[in-house]
Structure 1
Amino acid sequence: MANSGRDRAVQGVVHACYSAGEDPSSVRSRLLYALRRVVPFDAAFMACADPDTLLFTSAFADDALAESGPLFLENEFGADADVNRFVDLARARNPVASLDEATNGERAASPRWREIMDPLGLGDELRVALRVDGTAWGFLCLHRYGVTSFDVSEMAVLRKVAAHAGEALRRVAAAPNLASPAAARASEAVILVADHVVVAVGGAVDEIEGVSLVIGGPLPVPFAAVVRRLEAIEGGAEGLESAPAALRMMTKRGALVSVHAARLRDASGNGPIAVTVAPAAPTERSSLFLAAHGLTPAQRRVANLVLQGRTTGQIVVELRISAHTVQDHLKAVFDKAGVRSRRELVSALMHP
């Protein structure tokens, strides 16, 4: 593709990110349709993520990958190391990496390729953390069959596009009025899981991922992700000391829920895992709300102190900034959050 044609195609991908609508499915379909014109691929995976725990809150995989979904989840969130894990790309200086680049062309060095991708006939993969200002809102993985690698120019395209795709997912997270008093009330539920299979359900959870849980059936991706994270923590995986087995997600009815996983101990000392679903706590709502609305770190610090009831004078002393700077930050917070006063901000975040 000539440079001018490639540049237009890349701009088309960027445009797709901002015209995709306010749901993950629209973002995915428009983004992948435009991206395929400039970076050919044979199969794709895309996920939204909780920006704090980096666990998947929703996910899509092409048919070629879907059947192996549980294996990919185990590889991604399990205790054993592998190259280019999404959690590592989310924190890396470069959010884009290919399998062939990471393994110097020795694909078999990756357990993911050796145990999952090679049996499917897959070759190179290109993984991307979709970040905005250092915060990851989702992930993308492109696959190719055969020996053809993703080249340097194709990885450069993904680096140009990554922040725009991340912005699209950030807007998806911000689109529901998380703070509306009229927002849907979340149900509470407990799901018992053994060997990654549902063994018992208490409460209403059919609104999660739009599917009903079936006794003896598999877990939806968000639940499977928190279970895998818990098992990795129990297995002593490195780097997870401050990464809880938890996430926040919107239900199909528009309620923000918190999902946690914990091990129940039986006589053997190793009982089933309990996955709990409950309305998100005020602190969980507020941190997601502030991040989703694009507040800068300085604006978040001021907003968090307002939520704790601090006055302007107290904020001045605590942050060592002028009253004028506090007011400037508050004005930006109000504009981004769609409120007009401290009272509305507190009410929106602390009293849903």
Structure 2
Amino acid sequence: MGRYGGTERTVRVRDSVVRAAGAARTVEDFFDAVTRAMAPALRFDVWAGVTVDPDTLINTGGNYRNAVPDTLMPRMLDIEYREGDVNSLPELARRPVPVGLLSEAVGGDLHRSPRYRDIAGPLGYRDELRVLLRDRHGAWGALVLGVGDDGEGFGPAATSFAAALAQPLGDALRRLHLTRRAQEEPAGTAPGLILLDDAYRPVHLTPAVARWFDDLPEGPAPAPPLGAVRGPAAGGAPGEGAGPGGRPPGLPPAVYAVAAAVRAPGARETLTSWAVTRSRGRVRLHAWQVDGPAPARVAVVVEQAAPGEHIALIVAAYGLTPRERDIATLVLRGLPTAEIARYARLSPHTVQDHLKSVFDKTGVRSRRDLVGALFARHFGPRRP
């Protein structure tokens, strides 16, 4: 088993990873804790952690500072959500085991992958292992691990180890979603408008954009992890467009993701997604393509998400069944049992049975408690 040290040791490390995930208090801490705990059993040189919308699998945030420079972020997410590549998150979501190894997916010819040609190869990675973090209620994020040219690569033991973590880490990440609460934005703050060109470079940013995104989790600007970026993937000369300390003025990954997704073949005219900020909670993103001769090709508006927009995510994160989600949503909208029964085409007695299950899963005893608890936990302003 090499680095894995046998089945018994692998199980011990896996249990340690699950404990670390369960002990994390924020999504930001989750990926740091998980990757540290994995290191004794799984060799990797770089990693990225991603959170996704469980309905669309569009990126809503993440930690790339250990893997991808900001200069390459737009191209990476363009490949992910517009151009397409092997082991995409939707593809992994359709698999019985949501794990994908890049070298295996391309039959050993890494240059078949645009993600390798434009991102991993120029950065000096030789392979990539992706794990979609999902439980029985949906997908909540992904873990991407890379190994350098001088590494031993990922074998069957590595993919099996990663597969064993997909469900427990998905469950832990889902629970952490419940700890994120939206905070009301002070009155008078205008929505922000972002115009991007074909390469996702900002053409225009309204002044409000900085106020929406200046509190996003941010780490120090890394040097390219495994060698200098080469060729056109670098997006220009070294340091071009960099901000203070050499950090390029990048937008949040969630902005690039929804902008790329709306440009994908067959995409809807307008796509809606969200991003997570530290002090403002979830903010809503709306993207559409811009027609005309101007350099702008995509517009993205960022604004505070209304409390009702979080309902679907919150009830999903509590592990409610589809029927329970429908009924809980109607309760949160203030409908009485008789109207819920009519909308859901159920008897009032069946509605009450479903409500009892909802109460058990959310830890409340009544409809009033349900409404009060969910809004207090997830939609109300944070207490100092």
- Report the TM-score range of the alignment, normalised by the length of the smaller protein: 0.7 to 0.9
Equivalence map 1:37-186=2 (5 Å): 37-67=40-70, 68-78=72-82, 80-146=83-149, 148-178=152-182, 183-185=183-185
The number of residue pairs the alignment matches comes to 337
Q: Distance in 2 between matches of 1:200 and 1:167?
A: 37
Q: Distance in 2 between matches of 1:343 and 1:205?
A: 38
Using a 3 Å threshold, how does the CA distance of structure 1 residues 321 and 153 change in structure 2: closer, same or farther? Answer: farther
Q: Distance in 2 between matches of 1:231 and 1:241?
A: 9
Question: 2:50·2:59 contact (CA, 8 Å) conserved in 1?
Answer: yes
Matching residue of 1:341: 366
Q: Does 1:312 align with 2:337?
A: yes
* SS of alignment partner, residue 174 of structure 2: helix
Using a 3 Å threshold, how does the CA distance of structure 1 residues 322 and 204 change in structure 2: closer, same or farther? Answer: same
Q: Deviations over 1:142-177 (max 9, x none)?
A: 111137332222211111111221122212211134
Equivalence map 1:115-264=2 (5 Å): 115-146=118-149, 148-178=152-182, 183-185=183-185, 187-195=189-197, 196-198=200-202, 199-203=204-208, 205-208=210-213, 210=215, 217-232=249-264, 236=265, 240=267, 245-264=271-290
* SS of alignment partner, residue 130 of structure 1: strand
Using a 3 Å threshold, how does the CA distance of structure 1 residues 337 and 256 change in structure 2: closer, same or farther? Answer: farther
* SS of alignment partner, residue 206 of structure 2: strand
Deviation at 1:103, TM superposition (A): 1.7
Q: Does 1:29 align with 2:32?
A: yes
- Unaligned ranges ≥5, structure 1: none
Question: 1:124·1:148 contact (CA, 8 Å) conserved in 2?
Answer: no
* SS of alignment partner, residue 206 of structure 1: helix
Matching residue of 2:355: 330
Q: 1:298 aligns with which of 304, 312, 323?
A: 323
Matching residue of 1:286: 311
Q: Distance in 1 between matches of 2:94 and 2:268?
A: 15
Provide TM-score, normalisation by structure 1: 0.84
Moved more, 38-47 or 114-123: 114-123
* SS of alignment partner, residue 315 of structure 2: helix
Q: Distance in 1 between matches of 2:65 and 2:309?
A: 32
Q: Deviations over 1:204-256 (max 9, x none)?
A: 543436259x9x94322111111111222xxx2x5x459x6321233221433
Q: Deviations over 1:316-351 (max 9, x none)?
A: 565565655432321332344455432454565699
Question: 2:10·2:161 contact (CA, 8 Å) conserved in 1?
Answer: no
Q: 2:14 aligns with which of 10, 19, 23?
A: 10
1:285 partner letter = H
Q: Distance in 1 between matches of 2:288 and 2:192?
A: 11
* SS of alignment partner, residue 262 of structure 1: strand
Deviation at 1:313, TM superposition (A): 4.3
- After superposition, the CA RMSD in angstroms is 3.0
User: RCO higher in 1 or 2 (8 Å CA, sep ≥ 6)?
Assistant: 2
1:332 partner letter = S
* SS of alignment partner, residue 245 of structure 1: strand
Provide TM-score, normalisation by structure 2: 0.77
Q: Distance in 1 between matches of 2:209 and 2:69?
A: 26
Question: 2:48·2:66 contact (CA, 8 Å) conserved in 1?
Answer: no
Question: 2:181·2:379 contact (CA, 8 Å) conserved in 1?
Answer: no
Question: 2:24·2:33 contact (CA, 8 Å) conserved in 1?
Answer: yes
Question: 1:197·1:217 contact (CA, 8 Å) conserved in 2?
Answer: no
Deviation at 1:191, TM superposition (A): 2.2
Using a 3 Å threshold, how does the CA distance of structure 1 residues 258 and 310 change in structure 2: closer, same or farther? Answer: same
Percent identity, aligned pairs only, is: 33
Using a 3 Å threshold, how does the CA distance of structure 1 residues 255 and 87 change in structure 2: closer, same or farther? Answer: same
Question: 1:53·1:246 contact (CA, 8 Å) conserved in 2?
Answer: no
